[in-house]
Amino acid sequence: MDDPTTPSPYDLLLEALWLIPIRHYLYALILIWTVFFYNFVEFHFLGDAVLQYFRGRVNLIYNPDSPIYHGVVSRCRTLHGRYVATPWLASPHLQTCFLNFHGLPPVFTYTRKLFRASDGGTIALDWLINSHVADADPHNQNEISKEDTTPIAVVIPGLTSDSSSAYLKHLAYNTAKSGWNVVISNHRGLGGISVTSDCFYNAGWTEDVRVVLDHLQHEFPMAPLFAIGTSIGANILVKYLGEEGEKTPLRGAVAICSPWDLLIGDRFISRKFKQRLYDRALTIGLQGYAQLHEPQYTRLANWEGIKRSRSIRDFDNHATCHVGKFETVDTFYRKSSSTQYVGNVAVPLLCISALDDPLCTKEAIPWEECRANKNIVLVTTNHGGHLAFFEGLTASSLWWVRATNEFLGALSCSRYMHIQKIQESGSSGSRKQEEPSINQGPYLNIGEDGLVAAVNLEENTTRSKDATQVLKQRGPKVKDKRSFNVLCRQTKRSIWLLGYIGMVTGFPLVGMLMNYLFRKKQRPITASKS
């Protein structure tokens, strides 16, 4: 039987706890809160400090036979280096929030031009000319002439973003400073422009990109066109490239933080508490966009449903599906996702994504589709947030902007730029198909026995769509016709190499011939002696 005078162990424990100073409890509470906050906002400062060499690597996914990687990306030091986030922004959530609330954007002024689409819609094109940045004169209003050959970078913003967004200002200023002309194609109803038709933009609306590029090609025929898409703008850009294939006037493109698969993204953004906060914040932005154009939405959509929306999915259900004539929200997401168009991309395309992106999940990245397409190089980093990628102690620059400018600079100086191919049409006035000189004849017919015979272009009916590719497998009955220059270039054998091989393999034949002639000459001499 227990002695009633013996104190309980719990009493002894409480007495011991009372003896601990209160400040020690405060220290423990601060430590627990710090650990909780560190994990909640997904800080990686300690990991960067200890494992910077390994965790900061930039990962490249590409086809082993990709000419874009070997000819362009392999020359980009930024893409073969490391990305280390700003120490006091070593969190995807801090980076994303800081970018949207401040972002330290450069200060400059755009030159605005309005473009009127055929359906009556108005698109604001905000220009930043290289000469404006070079002269450091905000009042410089020099126009671009039709004969100007300076490359033009067309920027497609993200959801509810316009040219005033911090990340677009970083991109426009640094690209113009690199010697390019930049134009930001604002979405309809954004950039301070009213909606002047019954057509609104959405995550899969590519028609505005198509008409703006055609307009720029007509206005500046000598200037090569490139495109940069960010977030939803990246999804629109990749979808457009897949739809157009070889017909696009773009020479190259870059997609930054694309959501890729909108259905997967919809499930992801409503999965956890942190993602639901972003979902709610973006919904508020969409509702603000709708309020700017309330008369049109009241007439075309469910206005009461828009006001009650608590998620992007709710907004798309009450607004986008009504305006875009989609049966369901899932139908809209499936038809608008760019993943299904990746295989049809025919221009050099650099895709950059952060694996810790709090809005666009890595689960939606089409890894194998990007690897299978020789025109695409996919770049991923372990950190960076959504469209942030701040670097340096002062967070004054964005890593992806630097990588984009280096890639476009290398591409514009290479022979791997895309050349538009226009298919002939008998109804609307045919234009001759443009084809690079390296793909022009004479063509070769490689037979079963390895013999090569010249054929003309009309006979080349079995030539594949991409004339610069070489068949990896040749069956016993397959005949492949190729441009002689393409054959030499793709197999990495030059005329000099072929000549060298011929000389080396010909030496025995020359020796046999000389031996035969020498013996024939010696026979009369031997006969006369005998």
- Does pLDDT of 509 surpass 50? no
How far is Cα 256 from Cα 235, in angstroms, rounded to an integer?
Answer: 9
Q: Is residue 37 domain-shared with residue 63, that is, in the same domain?
A: no
Residue 184 or 15, more confident: 184
| Residue 527 belongs to a domain | no
Residues 210, 308, single domain; the answer is no
End-to-end CA distance of the chain, in Å?
A: 140
Q: Tell me, yes or no, whether 185 and 231 share the same domain.
A: yes
Please tell me the predicted confidence (pLDDT) of residue 317. 97
Domain count, the chain: 3
Which residues form the domain of 304? 265-329
63/173 same-domain check: yes
| The pLDDT of residue 443 is above 50 | no
At 446, is the secondary structure helix, strand, or coil?
Answer: strand
At residue 136, the pLDDT reads: 62
**Please, which pLDDT band fits residue 483 given cuts at 50, 70 and 90?**
very low
Q: Which of 304, 329, 354 is the last residue of a domain?
A: 329
Q: For the chain, how are helix, strand and coil distributed in percent, rounded to 5?
A: 45, 15, 40
Total Cβ atoms within 10 A of residue 377: 26
Q: What is the mean pLDDT of residues 369-393?
A: 97
Average pLDDT of span 508-515? 49
Domain boundary among 411, 445, 462: 411
Residue with tokens 């094109």: 125
pLDDT(244) > 70:
yes
Q: How confident is the model at residue 46, as a pLDDT?
A: 85
Q: What is the CATH number of the domain that holds 364?
A: 3.40.50.1820
Residue 385 within any structural domain of the chain: yes
Amino acid 237: pLDDT: 98
Q: How high is the pLDDT of residue 423?
A: 60
Residue type, 170: H
Q: Which of 3-7, 21-25, 157-161 has the highest mean pLDDT?
A: 157-161
What's the pLDDT tens digit per position in 250-264?
A: 999 999 999 999 999
pLDDT digits (tens, 9 = 90+) for 275-330: 999 999 999 999 999 999 999 999 999 999 999 999 999 999 999 999 999 999 99
Higher-confidence position of 20 and 166 = 166
Of the residues 354, 388, 411, the one at which a domain ends = 411
Asked if residue 472 is part of any domain, the answer here is no
Are 192 and 126 part of one and the same domain?
yes
Q: Are 65 and 121 found together in one domain?
A: yes
Supply the pLDDT for residue 12. 84
List, by residue number, the catalytic residues: 231, 357, 386
In terms of domains, do 145 and 174 share one?
Answer: yes
Say whether both 251 and 345 belong to one domain.
yes
Q: pLDDT tens digits, residue range 88-141?
A: 999 999 999 999 998 999 999 999 999 999 999 999 999 999 988 876 665 555
Residues 252 and 174 in one domain: yes
Q: Quick one: 19 and 75 in the same domain?
A: no
Instruction: Looking at the structure, tell me whether residues 247 and 282 fall in a common domain.
Output: no
71 or 135, greater pLDDT: 71
Does residue 440 fall inside a structural domain? no
| Mean per-residue pLDDT, 412-416 | 95
- Within-domain flag for 110: yes
> How many Å apart are CA 449 and CA 463, to the nearest integer?
19
Q: Is position 33 within any domain?
A: yes
Residues 212 and 285 in one domain: no
Q: What is the DSSP string of 290-337?
A: HHHTHHHHHHHS-HHHHHT--SHHHHIIIIIHHHHT-SSHHHHHHHH-
Is 228 contained in some domain? yes
Both structure tokens of 223: 């200037």
Is residue 322 assigned to a domain?
Answer: yes
Q: What is the CA radius of gyration of the chain?
A: 31
